[in-house]
Structures are given as structure tokens and as C-alpha cells.
A and B are shown apart, each in its own frame.
Chain A
């Protein structure tokens, strides 16, 4: 019954021990079954609480990840456009006459987009050619980044979020296993206790009737 050397999973969730021999765990045929039962109930409550926490965290992450992906795609797209433009302006210097028409077309075209002003309201705007994007980091904080830095930041955020999500899903599965083990333990201890009471009652009845017989005879 030692609790000092419990196994834990990589994130520190304790493993639920499966009680194979109940009588041994309780401490003999006359041991108290209520103490272990209460302990199991406590452990179950803790596991369930952890499970609800993790489920919430997982839902939040599953929400955020597509958002980060979209932002990353947009920044990479802007990056490519700028690279396309700056290459065009470089070539311009080298061969002036021949490709003038082509490059004029691609290097002068601004990007128009419809953006969201409100839930049902959109307006049109022209995106400036800039090397800086602004990222909303949450908690009323927005920072400006040069495009390559933004790409790096978003990539790291995405990887961290995906790793977190994986870990959380693993933890949830592990927790479900431990909850099942605990519930099985509780059921077995309870059944064993019921059986023991019944046997005790039968023994007392049998010895009671034996005493009555000897008293008569």
C-alpha cells in the first residue's frame, strides 16, 4: 500500500495501482473496507477533475491551431509576393528594355482585399507594400515584426501548440485508463466486503444453531 514509489506518466499523473489481492490490501479478513473505499473515491475525484481540466485545454488548443496556421499561411504569402516584387525590380536594372512590360505589370499591382469591420460588415482596402506585419499576441498586446521574423515566430507557436495538443490527448487517454482501474478496484473491494459480511452472518447463524443444539442436548 506504499504511495511513495508510484509510477507517473511523463506529465506527472500518478498511476492507479490495480489491487490483485484484496484481502492482503485491506489487512486480513477483519480489516476495515471503508478506509480503502474512501481513498479510492478521493483518487477518482482527483482523476475526474484532471480529466475535465485537460478536456478544456484540448478544446482551446484545437480552436487556436487552425487560426495560427491561417496566419502563418498569410504571412508566407505576403513574403512570397515581396520576394517576387523585389526580384522583378532587381532584374529591371539589368535588362531594361525587353521585359519592361511584363515587370511593370507584376511590380505595380497592389493587393486589394475585403476585410471585416464587423460581423456582417466588410469594406475594401488596398494593402501597402511593407516589410512589417503586426501580430496580435493576446492580452491587449500587439507587436510589429519584420516578415521573416513573423514567419519564424508563427512557426514556433504552431509547433508548440501542436506538441501541447498531442500531449494533452495522450494524458486524457492515460487518465481514462486510470479512472477505469480505480473504478474496478472500488467495485472489487465493495463486492469482497459484501461477500465477507454475508459469510460472517452465515457463520454466526450456523454457530448460533449449533449452540442451541448443545444447550438442548
Chain B
């Protein structure tokens, strides 16, 4: 959709514009990367949590959260099943191995996205760097031209 314009053809203000635009996109992509990473960490935590509900813990007393600030002592009653939020308001009761599989699949899916994003980010970074180089070259050129008539 964008025509191929050689960046050496652009003059200084236009180069500044292009650089600013690229840096904005870079910011945006980096933010998305951070968010994906956070989501991935959450899912990894879920895998650990599922691991805690093991049969060895059945019958042990735990503090059950009833609200954000209220805990009541209780016992684990069902160590074989957990309830997983699969999105759009659906909650599915799964066995522990099924839940672990579900979260692992999510973690891997995010990992794939993260890698693609990483590539896009480095390409953008390269573009920004080349624009900066061209800008510096032009600036030097301009300064030489200004000095030449003066001397």
C-alpha cells in the first residue's frame, strides 16, 4: 500500500516524520509484547496451581477465600477436578491432567506469537536505525554546504 520511496530521497523534516512514526509503532509493539509476556506468566502460574491440588493434599486444612478479604478454614474436597475459565463466560470442569494440558497449550500458543512479534520488532528497529543514519548523513551534508559558501 505504501510506495517504495528511497529514504535518501527524503529531506530532513520528512525523515524526522518517518522516524517519529516508526518509533511510535515500535512503542506499540513493545507494549503488546510485554502484555503477552504477562499473560504467558499467568498461565504458567495456573499450571503450578493445578499441581497444588494433588490427592496428597486432600483432607488437609486450607484457608478458603470467600471474598477479597475474607478467608475461612476448610478442606479440599475434590482434588481430581478443577474448573477452568475457557473464555466468553464458559467454565469447564476438567480433571487435573486435562487442565494442565489446556494451560500448556495456551502457553505454547502465546510463545509462538511472542516469537513472531519479536521478529517484527527487530525489523522495525532496523528501519529506525537506517532512517537515523540517513538523517545524520544529510545533516552533515547540509553543514558542509553551509560552511563552504562562508569560507
Instruction: Tell whether A pairs with B.
Output: yes
Closest B residue to A132 by CB, please name it: B73
Q: Are B74 and A136 in contact (CB under 8 A)?
A: no
Cα–Cα, bound, A123→B61 (Å): 14
Q: Are B74 and A127 in contact (CB under 8 A)?
A: yes
Cβ contacts A140-181/B at 8 Å (1 or 0 each): 001000000000000000000000000000000000000000
Q: Interface residues of A: mostly helix, strand, loop or mixed?
A: strand
A59 to chain B, nearest CB (A): 17
Taking CB atoms, residues of chain B closer than 8 Å to A127 are: 64, 72-74
Q: Are B69 and A128 in contact (CB under 8 A)?
A: no
| Candidates A67, A68, A74, A125; contact of B77 at CB < 8 Å | A125
Stretch at the interface among A24-32, A96-104, A108-116, A187-195: A108-116
B126 to chain A, nearest CB (A): 37
Closest A residue to B43 by CB, please name it: A120
B67 to chain A, nearest CB (A): 5
Q: Does B122 contact A (CB under 8 A)?
A: no
Which parts of B65-88 form the interface with A (CB within 8 Å)?
Answer: 65-78, 81-85
Q: Are B84 and A120 in contact (CB under 8 A)?
A: yes
A116 to chain B, nearest CB (A): 6
Cα–Cα, bound, A134→B67 (Å): 11
Cα–Cα, bound, A20→B84 (Å): 67
Enumerate 12 A-B pairs (CB-CB under 8 Å) in ascending A order. Answer: A114-B83, A117-B52, A119-B42, A121-B46, A121-B50, A125-B78, A126-B77, A128-B74, A130-B72, A134-B70, A134-B72, A136-B70
Nearest first, the 7 closest Cβ-Cβ pairs linking A and B are A120-B85, A122-B83, A126-B77, A136-B69, A134-B71, A124-B78, A127-B74
